[in-house]
């Protein structure tokens, strides 16, 4: 085995991108992080990665990086991720997630990058007819965020058919937790995601948690989601990278989830258990566009990659999220 080639990680100063950069470095891959630091943090870029501040749509910058570092693959995490914001400001999402991704893909093709891994989302399924959701089901996103990501999936599909590049689109379910070694975690302020909100409440950074809907068609009436530990998700990217390199003619679209769900109440109970305190809970109406339950059919990723979940434990996800949240408090 020769030296491993370098990987360009866009959005590597962000939550999931920084965990992927850590996993790549841990596995011996040289990493170049490109991030515009609009939502990412310079300190989140792991030691050992080359860091470049800039935009994915800056073709001369990106093309120069690809050539200078002989980039073999791009892992593309950079983008906008807040669903309600995508409803308020759809063109921002079609710009950051679709148009700028198009420019990045074009630069990759122009500079002979052979492999592309894309952060997609379970939001492409919208409100699925049946769960668990499988990759063969029709996609029908119900918000601009999901549509902005789905269009990039389509671009990659068509581009891979026409050019010598293969790709893997990973459809993330509900990503949560933090690096178990405490090297990174979810740091952006103003979080809306349940586990992040709940650990902030447990640590007194907010008054409590609003439960958005208690009349769903689920066992306890609250929404059910498939929470995946960010380190398992990062590991899936490494396996996808190795698969793309080993089989350059094959591309993949793979769900990333554990195939089981927890309700909002189960999550809050876990946070109470792990924090050793009780978060104050309020009942609120349903949030627009929330499905009752969304879980992943993960048979395809299990059959395609050697990937196996290693952190499939709600209490463990919450414990790591709490530990990170505490360390953020100490940083502030
Ligand atoms: N949720 C909640 N209170 C919050 C945030 C989320 O009750 O403060 C619920 C939400 O309605 C959904 C689940 O928690 O059932 C997960 O929501 P989140 O925003 O974390 O992720 P989504 O599944 O919407 O991407």
Q: Do the beta carbons of residue 219 and residue 158 sit within 8 Å?
A: no
C-alpha 78 – ligand 1 centre gap (Å): 22
% of the chain residues with pLDDT over 90: 95
Span 190-210, pLDDT tens digits: 889 999 999 999 999 999 999
Check pLDDT > 70 for residue 1. Answer: no
Residues 6+ apart with CB under 8 A from 53: 35, 36, 37, 42
Check pLDDT > 50 for residue 332. Answer: no
pLDDT at 331: 59
If you average pLDDT over residues 314-327, what whole number do you get? 98
- When the pLDDT of each residue in the chain is averaged and rounded to a whole number, the result is 96
Check pLDDT > 80 for residue 227. Answer: yes
- How far is C-alpha 126 from the geometric centre of its chain's CA atoms? 17
Q: Of residues 125, 145, 216, 227, which has the active-site annotation?
A: 145
Closest by CA to 294, choosing from 246, 233, 228, is 228
* Protein residue with least CA distance to atom 5, ligand 1: 194
Span 40-60, pLDDT tens digits: 999 999 999 999 999 999 999
Beta strands, E only, 55-184: 71-76, 115-121, 166-172, 174-176
If you average pLDDT over residues 168-196, what whole number do you get? 96
Beta strands, E only, 270-315: 281-284, 293-294
Q: Is 136 exposed, middle or buried (0-12, 13-18, 19+ CB in 10 A)?
A: exposed
Span 14-25, pLDDT tens digits: 999 999 999 999
> Model confidence at 189, in pLDDT bands (50, 70, 90)?
confident
Check pLDDT > 60 for residue 10. Answer: yes
pTM score of the predicted model: 0.97
Q: Which residues line ligand 1 (CB under 6 A)?
A: 174, 192-194, 197, 209-213, 223, 225, 264, 287, 290
Check pLDDT > 50 for residue 178. Answer: yes
Residue 167 annotated as catalytic = no
What domains can you pick out in the chain, each with its CATH number?
Answer: 6-176+227-256 (3.40.50.720), 194-225+259-328 (3.90.25.10)
Check pLDDT > 60 for residue 102. Answer: yes
Check pLDDT > 90 for residue 307. Answer: yes
C-alpha 268 – ligand 1 centre gap (Å): 11
* Protein residue with least CA distance to atom 25, ligand 1: 174
If you average pLDDT over residues 244-265, what whole number do you get? 98
Atom of ligand 1 nearest to the CA of 267: 14
Atom of ligand 1 nearest to the CA of 196: 20
- Three-class SS of the chain: CCCCCEEEEECCCCHHHHHHHHHHHHCCCCEEEEECCCCCCHHHCCCCCEEEECCCCCHHHHHHHHHHHCEEEEEECCCCCCHHHHHHCHHHHHHHHHHHHHHHHHHHHHCCCCEEEEEEEHHHHCCCCCCCECCCCCCCCCCHHHHHHHHHHHHHHHHHHHCCCEEEEEEECEEECCCCCCCCCCCCCCCCCHHHHHHHHHCCCCCCEEEECCCCCCCCCCCEECEEEHHHHHHHHHHHHHHHHHCCCCCEEEEECCCCCEEHHHHHHHHHHHHCCCCCEEEECCCCCCCCEECECCHHHHHHCCCCCCCCCHHHHHHHHHHHHHHHHHHC
DSSP-assigned letter for residue 330 = H
Tally of residues, the chain = 332
Atom of ligand 1 nearest to the CA of 222: 15
pLDDT at 290: 87
Tokens of 91: 């063109």
């Amino acid at each position: 085995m020769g030296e491993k080639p370098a990987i360009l990680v866009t959005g590597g100063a962000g939550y999931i991108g920084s965990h992927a950069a850590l996993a790549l470095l841990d596995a011996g891959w040289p990493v170049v992080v490109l991030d515009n630091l609009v939502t990412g943090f310079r300190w989140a870029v792991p030691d050992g990665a080359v860091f470049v501040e800039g935009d994915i749509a800056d073709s001369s910058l990106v093309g120069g990086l690809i050539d200078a570092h002989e980039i073999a693959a791009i892992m593309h995490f950079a983008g906008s991720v807040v669903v309600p914001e995508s409803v308020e400001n759809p063109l921002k999402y079609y710009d950051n997630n679709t148009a700028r991704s198009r420019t990045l893909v074009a630069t990759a093709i122009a500079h002979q990058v052979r492999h592309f891994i894309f952060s997609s989302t379970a939001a492409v399924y919208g409100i699925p007819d049946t769960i668990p959701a499988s990759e063969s089901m029709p996609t029908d996103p119900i918000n601009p965020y999901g549509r902005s990501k789905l269009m990039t999936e389509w671009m990659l599909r068509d581009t891979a058919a026409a050019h010598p590049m293969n790709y893997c689109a990973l459809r993330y379910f509900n990503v949560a937790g933090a690096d178990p070694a405490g090297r990174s975690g979810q740091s952006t302020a103003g979080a809306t995601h349940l586990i992040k909100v709940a650990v902030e409440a447990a640590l007194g950074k907010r008054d409590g948690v609003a439960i958005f809907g208690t009349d769903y068609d689920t066992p306890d009436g609250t929404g059910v989601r498939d929470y995946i530990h960010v380190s398992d998700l990062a590991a899936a990217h490494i396996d996808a990278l190795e698969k793309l390199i080993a089989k350059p003619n094959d591309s993949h679209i793979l769900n990333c989830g554990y195939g089981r769900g927890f309700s909002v109440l189960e999550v809050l109970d876990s946070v109470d258990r792990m924090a050793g305190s009780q978060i104050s809970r309020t009942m609120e109406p349903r949030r627009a566009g929330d499905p009752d339950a969304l879980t992943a059919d993960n048979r395809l990723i299990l059959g395609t990659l050697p990937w196996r979940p290693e952190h499939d434990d709600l209490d463990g996800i919450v414990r790591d999220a709490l530990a990170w949240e505490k360390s953020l408090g100490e940083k502030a």
